[in-house]
Chain A
């Protein structure tokens, strides 16, 4: 219990810390589709404690320090973190060409409202190449979507 608390405290300070000597693990680059906790026991435990495994932090969503190489924040940090937390929903949304997770992803790429339709069509049309394998990672999804945008006349300006 105490060790866990210490971990919570340490993590909770991460956003305020000047440096956080970790690699990209915290951002979720390596997250794959259909992972994480589920099942009956998890649900029972979660409903009794109102908590969830991991992430009992006092962290923040955006402006994230605490992940990114050697404490530096890469342009992809928010994107990868979001994609990692929502990769299951993103996969379904991209195939459907709509959905809340996909809309949020578009805003994180900075895609203006007028160009969102083009963004949804792009990710739907290239769904097969984005989710090419079962073990594709959140980092790969973010990178390949950016590459696709770079080749698209309308969306190239968001891929810089």
Chain B
């Protein structure tokens, strides 16, 4: 029958008759969906963000907004949700101000394709708001952006990913005008509690997808924070990009509980890509809740494996560019920049005026950037820093030459080449009393002996690092570090970060720390300290800390010990494959029943491939006149 005739017939049908046509068609669609088992289809799971339950059968959606679901029990019942969704497409009542067909655009389009909706019996409604939005962003390409870490910010060591949606017709010089797609926690501007970290970890924040100009993100990461950005083109086909946008549209304003470690930015971006290309199933590589954390670097590597990433573009952070510039200046020039920023030198200084014009330009650029850095890090006030910075730029504008300094080159290793965040190790421990098999397992992420490729040099962040010893006495826990952070951040005249460390968990005490056959028992510990690092050469860091240690262990008189003391060390990243770390500690008990101790550790690692490394450590402990020296040899497997 001709569609026009159908239309006329339908038009002339009375309303109840039309309703019965529709309800018959709905029943037909619902039963066809059931025949096809669409409620169990991977794409339906992706669209609704269903994840298998941990203990019971069934699934639960990670989405926490009730109005995301059409069915009341939609969060846990994919079949009911599917039935209700199909029914809602016949409903003219707007949902969030637009037809449901539009509000759940990706679900509608997917079901329409699979069930071949008949437009006569299920008329398609116009999506004006979606179309206006699409027209405004005019999407052409998508990029994955990885934000690297900053040494002074431990949370940043985790990394971050976002996406950049580039509009059609944007010229090469207009990347800044693209839109950033970000998944972030929503928090109140008035919030000033230091509890934000605990809230971020425990799901105390609401997370939403946001869209904002990419230049805002560049300013935040590369200018205010000192985090380099890596921009990877995402190799998606046009229909895949369209599906992603449909889904993004239906995800707007939808709330999740935000978990810093697992349901985070990287996890949610993978969920978008899973919808875009249904056979990717990227999230399956990070099964929750078995997988306790989704680490941005791991997701970058996963995308690389899936063949989704093009060659990255490196965008250096302002502070890193500045540091590179300063390193190329002569000592008097370097001093002039710092003195000018401090107000102790002026623009008529001979160091500046007698330099080549191109070098003058470089010096004025550095003076401005350094003042800006100091302001952004709250070292200098706006009222003091800004006039001096402006004065430098005024002088700079009269020099019609470029700086003669070499720009900061991209690092040799980009993030997809980084080692995997999880590590399994096996090897031997030997001391003069015997030998043991040493087994280690670390959930995450990086220590100072791991290959620094694409990680932050001098940054260490570790979670759940378990060490086991197998000897004649059986299998024993040697240590269990629950969490640890360490920063070895070079201090110089321009950049003055503190170095510090903190960790806690379970360990043995005294000589048992390094013994193949520990005599005592496992106890609780926490330790922390602060200090300063010098970098006499490019890849060498020397550090001094003052530290405090708490051990709670039955081997101790009073079952506890608090000790203080200095710690010195050296870290060296040598050639492409070698790393070295040596540390010496002297501890003096100030409370409880501990002993005076001297501890020395020296480790080397040779990295063979991205996944395999060999580590050897030499350890020495002295406590109450007794001493023990031993060594560990381990093969590390990163994944």
- A: which residues have CB within 8 A of B? 1, 3-5, 8-9, 12-13, 15-16, 33-34, 36-64, 81-82, 85-86, 88-89, 91-92, 94-98, 100-101, 103-104, 106-108, 121, 124-125, 127-128, 131, 134
Contact = CB atoms under 8 A, between A and B. Distances in A.
Most buried by A among B155, B192, B364: B155
Given A95-B394, A95-B397, A134-B386, A57 B177 contact: no
B309 interface: no
Given A12-B252, A134-B386, A104 B200 contact: no
Contacts of A60: 133, 136-137, 179, 211
B433 interface: no
A4 B208 CA distance: 12
B452 to A, nearest CB: 20
B484 to A, nearest CB: 18
B225 A46 contact: yes
Nearest to B383: A134
A8 B393 contact: no
A48 B133 contact: no
Interface string B397-420: 100101100000000000000000
A9 B215 CA distance: 22
A34 B375 contact: yes
B216 A55 contact: yes
B205 A49 contact: yes
Most buried by B among A49, A62, A96, A128: A49
12 contacts: A34-B385, A42-B224, A45-B187, A49-B205, A56-B210, A57-B212, A61-B137, A96-B396, A97-B397, A100-B175, A101-B176, A124-B400
A42 B156 CA distance: 12
Given A89-B223, A101-B176, A127-B393, A15 B184 contact: no
Interface string B173-186: 11111110011111
B396 A8 contact: no
Contacts of B264: 50
Contacts of A59: 211-212
Given A4-B189, A61-B214, 19 more contacts: A9-B253, A16-B133, A34-B372, A38-B378, A40-B152, A40-B378, A44-B153, A45-B187, A47-B158, A56-B184, A56-B208, A56-B210, A60-B133, A61-B167, A91-B393, A94-B397, A97-B402, A128-B397, A131-B393
Contacts of B387: 134
B377 A55 contact: no
B197 interface: yes
**Interface SS majority for chain A:** helix
A107 B385 CA distance: 31
A121 B401 CA distance: 11
Interface in B134-176: 135-137, 150, 152-153, 155-156, 158, 160, 162, 167, 171, 173-176
Most buried by B among A1, A54, A98, A106: A1
Given A34-B386, A92-B393, A15 B136 contact: yes
Interface in B183-239: 183-189, 191-192, 196-197, 200, 205-206, 208-216, 219-220, 223-225
Contacts of B45: none
A109 to B, nearest CB: 12
Contacts of A42: 224
Interface string B412-444: 000000000000000000000000000000000
Contacts of B265: 50
